[in-house]
Amino acid sequence: MHSWGDAIGEAAQADLDRLLDTAIRFAQARLNEALLFEPAALLISEDGRVLEVDQDRSALGKHPEAQDLVRTAVLHLRQVRDQSRCTALVINTRLPRERTDAVEVRLEHRDGASAAVLMPYKKATFGGHTEYGDLRAFVARPLVWA
């Protein structure tokens, strides 16, 4: 169990833990298939199901920029937040100071918790395995329940 602070209850902490674990596995599966992945939105519904949020990207053109995909994902999560307990935005990002890529998971819970979790990684070369670093969590500004 990760520590999300004293401000939220055990049920909210369990939701955040579950969605973070799902988001990390989701990103690792995508990275096993390709060099990187497009931003994705996940949520825990009112009845406790973990769902990937379908996003209408038709207005973004054939090759949208990553920040446009993130903005669209946030808008979609805002539209379904009334039917959600917890949301996650899963993003492939770059850590320039460390010269490595990372999975970024932006988690929010309707009870008020909001965090960004980074997991650095180095892609495998020539058939090797992708190496993942330790998770690092930071307090983040809410985007969905803002």
pTM: 0.89
DSSP 129: P
Specify whether the CB–CB gap between 117 and 137 falls below 8 A: yes
Distance between CA 90 and CA 37 in Å, rounded?
9
Indicate the domain borders of the chain. Answer: 10-139
CA-to-CA distance for 129 and 146, rounded, in angstroms? Answer: 39
* Predicted local confidence at residue 1, as pLDDT: 46
Using the structure block, give the residue that is written with the tokens 């990553």: 66
pLDDT in tens, the chain (146 residues): 455 666 788 999 999 999 999 999 999 999 988 777 888 999 999 999 999 987 666 666 666 677 888 888 999 999 999 999 999 999 999 999 999 999 999 999 999 999 999 999 998 777 778 899 999 999 999 999 98
pLDDT, position 55: 67
The reported pLDDT for the residue numbered 20 is 98
